[in-house]
Amino acid sequence: MKRSLLLFAALCAASFCAHAQDDQNVVDEPTVQVTATRQAQTVDASLADVTVITRADIDASGAADLYDLLRTQAGVDVARSGGPGEQTSLFLRGSNSNHVLVLVDGVRIASTGTGGVDFSLLPLDAIERIEIVRGPRAAYWGSDAIGGVVQVFTRKLSGPAAAVQYGSYDDASLSTGIGDWNDRGGFSVLAGIRHVRGFSAQNPEGFSYDPDDDGLRNRNLAATGEVKLGTQTLSANTLYSDSVNEFDQGVSHTIEQDLGAALAGDVTDRWFQKLSLGSARDDLNTPDFFELFRSRRQSATWLNIFTLDEHQTLTAGIERVHESGENVDTFANSDVFDQSRDNTALFGGWSGHLQTFDWEVAARHDHNSVFGGATTASGALGWRVAPALRITASFGQGFRAPSLNEQFSPGYGGLFAGNPELRPERSRTSEIGAEWTPAGDFSLKLAAYHTDIDDLIDFTGPLFQAENTERARIDGVELETHWQRDGWRVDGNATWQNARDPQTGEHLLRRASRKGDVALTRIFNDRLNAALELYAEGPRPDLGGPLPGYGLINARMNIVLSRAWQLHLRAENLADRTYSLIRGYNTPGRSGWIELAWSPHG
């Protein structure tokens, strides 16, 4: 398989942002997103910096998992401790990994205990699209949205579908499902499995190196359905993922289950409402450490959008969240801690358009039963200087509520204990951006931002107790460009950032000061496209000293065999470069995947 992939490596590359094979024309319908302001809005009209990865992009990428899609996005740093299934940290615009709000169909999925998200539990075949909003969104979404928001939407199949993929390190996956939709509603169900033999997560530099292979076994199910009830639509969705992850110290078993239900529609011609309920469950069992973490979150949100006139809208909502977390010592069969808390929030926003100007203001107040209140606000202004040029400026506040571990964990023999008196971490971000589209086949987008974060939580003092003692300052610039003509397409992005502790000047761990991705795609016809991608990262600070920079050459090819059958091929790290994302942990060498997908209804 590797030999076959190398034969077309000069023609193809893995460009996750490349369009599907029938995308030969630049003029497309505007892409719609709903994450930036909690209401439908085209990406080009949004005052936030938004990227949407569609299902067509996912299929064209040939990627094996979500990690491969996100890591080359502008402003995104990803560090994974080994191969597929290992712990993955995502840093958005230089902020901490727990400063990114992650949603699945509107439901928060971060663990209430750790505040982290296991991205290996989000199977790629079950995803319809991914929306990435850079910059603070706390005024709309509340806690965690300091660096931004990543929202995943599960698939809605329009008929039977199936896909089988196989690749390096015995990475095999299978998914199959069916869906049916009409004017009255419909349903979609998709089930999948993935088994990866993998490679050793650590190398001899690791603190618990074991040369055996560390693999992944995952089972998943995504289902959604809806029915029309007059002017309202009643919908429900679920994502279930069950993973067994091997690592050098043992095995962990994780279950993620996200449920959502909503009643949404027009009350009048100027009033839209959405009443939604959500539930997120996360169980992490590590028998070798005799630890079991149970995370639970239930939420209820009532969102209202009022159209004042053809140029202005008001958004208003109320949200109630109940969180609980339990840490069990499975050796003694007793609770280490079992705690819960409640959060109630009111939020509102006003957005509009007048001639060449767009504006947006929003505010939110959260009241938490443990740490009290947090009020956040944001504002943005856009000015279309010329038909081809728009300039934007914004300011936003953010905060992160302490995790239950940080508040209530008794630690280990008194060390690394939580602190119920912790305050929320708080941030302030200023941003200016410009988007230039001088022609329909070319666009250029530039964003520059500055973020200050106060009251960061660190384990300090003689007993390493959790305290609000740290600060962070982040300056960054992001550049994105797209060009397409006569069957050729170029997609590129570059990020420069300086994430540091302002008191010591030390750079924050595992965030590169510069990175970039360029992909050249050739669309031969509506049945064949191929691309070549170059991805590069500069040095990154890590424990024990900086890690050197590296560059990767990737490739992809998509072939439409018939109306129902498609073949996707992907090759990564063609130069077989050895590099590290975390000191002591391995990364894949030269590798490739092949996927055969069947969907008779497109």
Q: Is residue 485 over pLDDT 50? A: yes
Mean pLDDT, range 135-152, rounded to an integer: 97
pLDDT at 440: 82
- Alpha carbon distance 555, 534 (integer Å): 9
- Alpha carbon distance 286, 252 (integer Å): 5
Lowest mean pLDDT among 168-182, 264-278, 458-472: 458-472
Mean pLDDT, range 499-521, rounded to an integer: 95
Q: Is residue 16 over pLDDT 50? A: no
Mean pLDDT, range 399-403, rounded to an integer: 95
pLDDT of 338-357, one tens digit each? 999 999 999 999 999 999 99
The DSSP line for 54-120 is: -HHHHHHHT-SSHHHHHTTSTTEEEEESSSTTS-EEEEETT--GGGEEEEETTEE-S-TTT----GG
| Average pLDDT value over all residues in the chain | 92
- Residue 170 is which amino acid? D
Residue 30 — very low, low, confident or very high, per pLDDT cuts 50/70/90? confident
Lowest mean pLDDT among 13-17, 330-334, 358-362: 13-17
Looking at the DSSP assignment, which residues form a beta bridge with residue 582?
none
Report angle CA 368, 370, 374 to the nearest 5 degrees: 40
What the block records as the tokens of 37 is 């302001």
- 135 Cβ partners below 8 Å, 6+ apart? 48, 49, 93, 147, 148, 394, 396, 429, 431, 449
Helix (H) or strand (E) holding 311: none
Residue 331 — very low, low, confident or very high, per pLDDT cuts 50/70/90? confident
Buried b (16+ CB within 10 A) or exposed e, 86-110: bbbbbbbbbbbbbbbbbbbbbbbbb
pLDDT at 31: 87
pLDDT of 105-117, one tens digit each? 999 999 998 888 8
Q: Is residue 411 over pLDDT 80? A: yes
3-state secondary structure 201-252: CECCCCCCCCCCCEEEEEEEEEEEEEEEECCEEEEEEEEEEEEEEEECCEEE
Q: Is residue 15 over pLDDT 80? A: no
Of 498, 507, 519, 397, whose CA–CA distance to 455 is shortest?
397
Mean pLDDT, range 131-147, rounded to an integer: 97
Go through the domains of the chain in sequence order and give each one's CATH number: 2-598 (2.40.170.20)
Of 206, 80, 188, 138, whose CA–CA distance to 581 is shortest?
80
Mean pLDDT, range 296-321, rounded to an integer: 97
DSSP three-state, residue 539: coil
Q: Is residue 7 over pLDDT 70? A: no
Give the global pTM: 0.93
Mean pLDDT, range 444-469, rounded to an integer: 93
pLDDT at 195: 97
- Alpha carbon distance 224, 156 (integer Å): 7
The answer to whether 570 and 63 are in contact (CB under 8 A) is: yes
Residue 122 Cα distances to 5, 45, 53, 58, 275, angstroms: 27, 29, 15, 14, 25
Residue of 414 and 446 predicted with greater confidence: 446
Q: How far is CA 542 from the centre of its chain?
A: 23
pLDDT at 27: 42
Q: Is residue 28 over pLDDT 60? A: no
DSSP letter (8 states) at residue 506: P
Q: Is residue 317 over pLDDT 80? A: yes
pLDDT of 208-260, one tens digit each? 899 999 999 999 999 999 999 999 999 999 999 999 999 998 999 999 999 99
3-state secondary structure 251-295: EEEEEEEEEEEEEEEEEECCEEEEEEEEEEEEEEEEHHHCEEEEE
Lowest mean pLDDT among 1-10, 161-170, 513-522: 1-10
Residue 496 has a CB neighbour count (10 Å cut-off) of: 16
Helix (H) or strand (E) holding 6: helix 2-7
Per DSSP, helices labelled H in 370-442 are 404-408
pLDDT of 526-577, one tens digit each? 999 999 999 999 999 999 999 999 999 999 999 999 999 999 999 999 999 9
Of 378, 322, 341, whose CA–CA distance to 145 is shortest?
378
